[in-house]
Amino acid sequence: MTVLYRCDADAAAIARRFGIAMGNDPWPGGHVAPGSFAPVITAGREFIAGPNPGRQPWRMVPRLWGVPPPPAAGDIARPILSVRNRESPFWIGNLRNPEFRCLVPATAFMAWGAGLDREGKRHRHWFTLADQPIFALAAIWKDSEVPGFALLSAEPNAAVKRIGRDAMPAILPPDRGAWATWLHAGWDKAEALLQPYSSSLLREQPRD
């Protein structure tokens, strides 16, 4: 799933949307490039040492988009941006542990279309959501020298299939209960959220 996304909302707007404290996240809003920092929302205890203190408040922290691949992958310099195989040993331990699941705020996502334009460049299709100006992408983070995250994929809806893609980012429903399920519930309930978003709610943006 090759996809880019934008989060044009700043840290204060994200905090209002998800009902959390803004903290010290300096995110100004804009395009998110692979290998760069972006805000994520986590409920894990990665900063809390000692015995498990129980459920933690949600907080917004910067994370690097892209997870270093396993050594067997060959090209270790190329980070993994998305999760396609949820049963992979590389991912399953983190997916089953809700402390490593996170929400990635977004305002639009891009999928590459089939074919080339008149300038020989691949078509870019940018989508927003009619029902969610700021939405949550399901994601997972891994601890490394610099903690990074990867987006979860879902089956494509009709609009994304139409442009020739076989997957789309997993967009969570627009309610706090769904977000809480992703951040706290067992893997069976969390995985059930990874569904194609309704194509009737996608709005394709005009091309430049």
Distance of CA 58 to the CA centre of its chain: 16
Residue 74 lies in a domain: yes
Integer Cα distance of 179 and 43 in angstroms:
11
Where do runs of H (alpha helix) occur along the chain?
Answer: 11-18, 89-96, 158-162, 176-184, 187-191
| Closest C-alpha among 113, 142, 135, 137 to residue 125 | 113
Integer Cα distance of 145 and 143 in angstroms:
7
Integer Cα distance of 126 and 203 in angstroms:
8
Residue 136 lies in a domain: yes
Residue 103 lies in a domain: yes
Residue 156 lies in a domain: yes
Q: What is the pTM of this model?
A: 0.91
Residue 50 lies in a domain: no
DSSP 3-state helix, strand, coil percentages of the chain (rounded to 5)?
20, 35, 45
CATH number at residue 125: 3.90.1680.10
Tell me if 123 sits within 8 A of 115, measured CB to CB: yes
Residue 51 lies in a domain: no
Instruction: Work out how many domains the chain is built from and give that number.
Output: 1
Residue 45 pLDDT: 65
User: Which range of residues forms the domain containing residue 173?
Assistant: 3-45+56-204
Residue 197 lies in a domain: yes
Integer Cα distance of 121 and 103 in angstroms:
32
Residue 119 lies in a domain: yes
pLDDT tens-place values along the chain, 208 residues long: 667 999 999 999 999 999 998 878 889 999 999 999 999 999 976 654 445 555 678 999 999 999 998 877 666 678 999 999 999 999 999 999 999 999 999 999 999 887 767 776 778 899 999 999 999 999 999 988 788 999 999 999 999 999 989 999 999 999 999 999 999 999 999 999 999 999 999 999 876 5
Tell me if 60 sits within 8 A of 25, measured CB to CB: yes
Tell me if 31 sits within 8 A of 6, measured CB to CB: yes
Residue 50 pLDDT: 47
